Structure 1
Amino acid sequence: MTTTGEDDTRALTGPWWWARWRSAVLDGGLALVSAVECGIEGIPFARDAGIPPAVGVAFGVLAGSMLLLRRKWPIVVVLVSIAIAPAQMGFLLTVGGLYTLAASELPRRIIGSLAGMSLVATLVVTFVRAQQDMTRGEMDVGGWFVPFISITASLGVTAPPVLLGLYVGARRRLMESLRERADSLERELQLLAERAEERAEWARNEERTRIAREMHDVVAHRVSLMVVHAAALQAVARKDPEKAVRNAALVGDMGRQALTELREMLGVLRSGDGGVRGGPSEVPLAAVRVAAAAAASRAVGEESAEAGPCLSELDELIGQSAAAGMVVRLSVEGEARSYARQVEQTAYRVVQEALTNVHKHAAGAKTHVRLAHRVSEIAMQVENEPPSESASASSARLPSGGNGLVGMKERVSALGGVFVSGPTDAGGFRVSAVIPAS
């Protein structure tokens, strides 16, 4: 876990302007050494200036202790070091101030100007001091030595701390940039994880709805026919035993077909493992959920589409309804051709569910099933007439969950089609759907 800027602010536990006590102790120790250095160097300065030594020592201690402010006001420290340069004191103060100045976030022009001023001050002081020593005879060298020693000393005091400070400052800014990027990446990953969790929840809900719709389509029609045949069996059991036997056989066939389709559906659900490998430590939980939901949805959808019904089975479907006592007629317009499996399966399910609704709500009503093959679409319509009073009175009273029309509309809409249902003027009911052929 990276440390954000807010965490860095809370981590400031040092006194005053120091982030940590360790930094405060370090600056205090450097200021103490600088004060001692400047205090010692203040003795010869007082002697040359003709002032009491105690004043020179106090002046040096005060000037050297300014290094304590290097993190807060680096410009002040550098200016003080430049100011006391003629007194030939403050070596540690100069080095520490220039390093802190170069490593700070101040504009480069300010850093360059102050570093140049310090370089010039050191160069002038060194040149004057070397010239005085040569004049007094303390140094017996050529005329080239004074400029050489002046330039070398000024560069030696100024360049190393400035270059080191620039390097440390650049490295610090790079680390802060990397930390900010890491924080941003962490926030993005957290956002992606939340979105992945939302997508996984959406995929789970979609899969539940799709499975519920598929189970309804598989079971409702078969069970409805079974109930209709059972009611007919009860009505003719004593009057026509042979017909009762046939109806019982039909009920048994319908039950076996319903069980077979249920087993196929459950087998598909069990085999949809999603293709995810690796444990929770290898794959993020949200990614596993999304991959599993998507792969399971694809696996169930593809396998159920391959095993699902097609338009060529409409005759058998209508024959089953006719065997249950429904007067149903099928008319086909256009030249029959093959469509995508999902299109054929959806068209079949629409007709199947419409016939199931006729069994439930209008038992015995005459029903017309129309199928039209067009250039770029396939259209289907199931319309029933009003049931007779005697047929309505003898209805098997099948329960309805209210999900049939909703499921049909969802199926058709998922393929970009149009679904319309509603009562007719004659008192019957009509279900119409148009599905794109591609």
Structure 2
Amino acid sequence: MTTAGEVHRAAAGGPWWWARRRAAALDVGLAVASAVECAVEGVPFAHKAGLPVWVGVLFGALTGSTLVLRRQWPIAVVLISVAVTPAQMGVLLTVVGLYSLAASEVPRRIIGALAGMSFLGTLIVSVVRVQQDSAAHADTFQVANWVVPFLAITTALGVTAPPLLLGLYVGARRRLMDSLQERNESLERELGLLAERAEERAEWARGEERTRIAREMHDVVAHRVSLMVVHAAALQAVARKDPEKAVKNAALVGDMGRQALTELREMLGVLRAGEPVPRRADRMPLEAVGVAAAAAASRAEAEAGVGPWLTELEDLVGQSRAAGMVVEVSVEGESPGYAAAVEQTAYRVVQEALTNVHKHAAGAKTYVRLAHRGAEVAMQVENEPPPEPDAAASAGLPSGGNGLVGMKERVAVLGGVFVSGPTDAGGFRVSAVLPAAS
């Protein structure tokens, strides 16, 4: 059994069970003092027991020297002190042994039992010694009856109580210091983990912001630029044959460019506003980064009061019609007024779907359907097969493959449903349903 704090010894310590050389020197010094005391007290013990003096001295020296074991085996030291109490020796052994026992990690019931044994043994020996002294000096003075128990109890308490209480206090303080040290080490480990987590979150935030900017650039620029390319191709085709139509197409290209610049300015204004990146308490999985980026974009547009609305849907379709696309629009029900994020997401879905028609099915007839259903709004963009299968390749419009992914992420972040795929007739269909309260 070791004292509190000894379990956390430094690697480079003292010999054997001592944590430091200073502790070893202290215990050896106490053991020498106890051995000298017991050796001196062994002389009268040898006379009373009828033994040679050297036997009493040797017995006392060996008994007192056991104090060197007080840190490693405090129970054994206290038991030895109790055993030699009848021989009227080992006061230092008893005091230091009780202190070491009380300051150790020994269970409290064992400490109480051994302290009680030591107190009882000291009490009995004190009673005997006081009575013997009283009898020896009976001719000189008379001792009252209450003096003997009073002196015996006082002596027993004086020998056992102070070291016991001091040991309990030192042990409790030592355990408190150990617990504080462990808590400090635990906090340092937690701070290290938090620092690592902060670095991971910072890296994730940078990636999220890059994804957000890329998606906004795609949504804002792709549609306008696609229409500009279509009009530019038409302008090139009719420039010599029909100058009036060429001028009209050139004006449309200019309008498209100005609208693209306006939307770019609005988006850059949102980015400069320093919209905080949303963060979660735990580490976000990689597959959720795109969804979170879409949420950041939608919230940024909504809170800044910029971005497209469903009321601008006719203008959007009109731009595609002006580029030569045949578009039929049907609207069911009346809009109850949706949240900004819902309207902007619905607009972006239709916009990106029309852009894909320009890229992959130029000249195909397209149907845009919008349905207001009270609790939700549904939209569908479906195109027929293109009249010329190679029209998309001849238009020269690049495709990065991110349009459908961006639409799906925008819809998913609002709790909606997104479905896209080819139709049986050879065309393509994009459908989305958004909850009204998002």
TM-score (normalised: structure 1): 0.87
Distance 1:430 1:300, change over 3 A: closer
1:224 pairs with 216, 219, 226, which one?
226
Per-residue CA deviation, residues 342-370 of structure 1 (Å, 9 max, x unaligned), is 11111111111111111111112211111
Structure 2: distance between partners of 1:390 and 1:98: 100
Instruction: Show the counterpart of 1:318.
Output: 317
Structure 2: distance between partners of 1:393 and 1:220: 15
Instruction: Show the counterpart of 1:304.
Output: 301
Distance 1:390 1:421, change over 3 A: closer
The question of whether the paired residues in 2 share the 8 Å contact of 1:272 and 1:300 is answered with no
Gaps of 5+ in 2: 278-282, 284-291
Structure 1: distance between partners of 2:27 and 2:377: 85
Instruction: Show the counterpart of 1:292.
Output: none
**SS in structure 2 opposite 1:389?**
coil
**SS in structure 1 opposite 2:17?**
coil
2:391 maps to amino acid: S
1:13 correspondence with 2:13: yes
The question of whether the paired residues in 2 share the 8 Å contact of 1:329 and 1:367 is answered with yes
1:159 correspondence with 2:149: no
Structure 1: distance between partners of 2:423 and 2:83: 104
**SS in structure 1 opposite 2:331?**
strand
Structure 1: distance between partners of 2:394 and 2:421: 21
1:75 correspondence with 2:72: no
Per-residue CA deviation, residues 196-237 of structure 1 (Å, 9 max, x unaligned), is 554554444444333322211100001001101111111111
The question of whether the paired residues in 1 share the 8 Å contact of 2:227 and 2:320 is answered with yes
Higher mean displacement: 132-141 or 149-158: 132-141
Per-residue CA deviation, residues 287-331 of structure 1 (Å, 9 max, x unaligned), is xxxxxxxx9998764342221100100111111111111111211
Instruction: Show the counterpart of 1:413.
Output: 412
1:53 correspondence with 2:53: yes
Structure 1: distance between partners of 2:436 and 2:115: 80
1:28 maps to amino acid: V
Structure 2: distance between partners of 1:134 and 1:350: 110
Per-residue CA deviation, residues 370-394 of structure 1 (Å, 9 max, x unaligned), is 1111121111111112222398289
The structural deviation recorded for 1:55 is 2.6
Instruction: Show the counterpart of 1:256.
Output: 258
Instruction: Show the counterpart of 2:144.
Output: 143
1:309 maps to amino acid: P
Distance 1:125 1:27, change over 3 A: same
The question of whether the paired residues in 2 share the 8 Å contact of 1:369 and 1:383 is answered with yes
Distance 1:255 1:308, change over 3 A: same
Higher mean displacement: 330-339 or 157-166: 330-339
**SS in structure 2 opposite 1:332?**
strand
1:129 maps to amino acid: R
Instruction: Show the counterpart of 2:425.
Output: 426
Structure 2: distance between partners of 1:6 and 1:66: 19
Structure 2: distance between partners of 1:386 and 1:203: 42
The structural deviation recorded for 1:121 is 1.6
Instruction: Show the counterpart of 1:348.
Output: 347
1:37-436 correspondence to structure 2 within 5 Å: 37-137=37-137, 140-144=141-145, 145-272=147-274, 274=276, 301-305=298-302, 306-389=305-388, 392=391, 395-436=394-435
Distance 1:6 1:189, change over 3 A: farther
Considering only aligned residues, what root-mean-square deviation do their CA atoms show, in Å?
2.8
Higher mean displacement: 181-190 or 313-322: 181-190
The structural deviation recorded for 1:156 is 0.6
The question of whether the paired residues in 2 share the 8 Å contact of 1:75 and 1:101 is answered with yes
The structural deviation recorded for 1:11 is 3.5
Distance 1:369 1:156, change over 3 A: same
Higher mean displacement: 243-252 or 155-164: 243-252
Instruction: Show the counterpart of 2:35.
Output: 35
Distance 1:176 1:396, change over 3 A: same
The question of whether the paired residues in 1 share the 8 Å contact of 2:329 and 2:368 is answered with yes
Structure 2: distance between partners of 1:265 and 1:148: 94
Structure 2: distance between partners of 1:418 and 1:297: 15
**SS in structure 2 opposite 1:416?**
coil
2:329 maps to amino acid: L
1:114 maps to amino acid: L
Distance 1:153 1:22, change over 3 A: same
Higher mean displacement: 421-430 or 187-196: 187-196
Structure 1: distance between partners of 2:275 and 2:410: 24
The structural deviation recorded for 1:187 is 4.3
Distance 1:18 1:302, change over 3 A: same
Higher mean displacement: 203-212 or 31-40: 203-212
Structure 2: distance between partners of 1:107 and 1:298: 59
Q: How many residues align?
A: 417
Distance 1:27 1:212, change over 3 A: same
**SS in structure 2 opposite 1:370?**
strand
Instruction: Show the counterpart of 2:289.
Output: none
Distance 1:214 1:237, change over 3 A: same
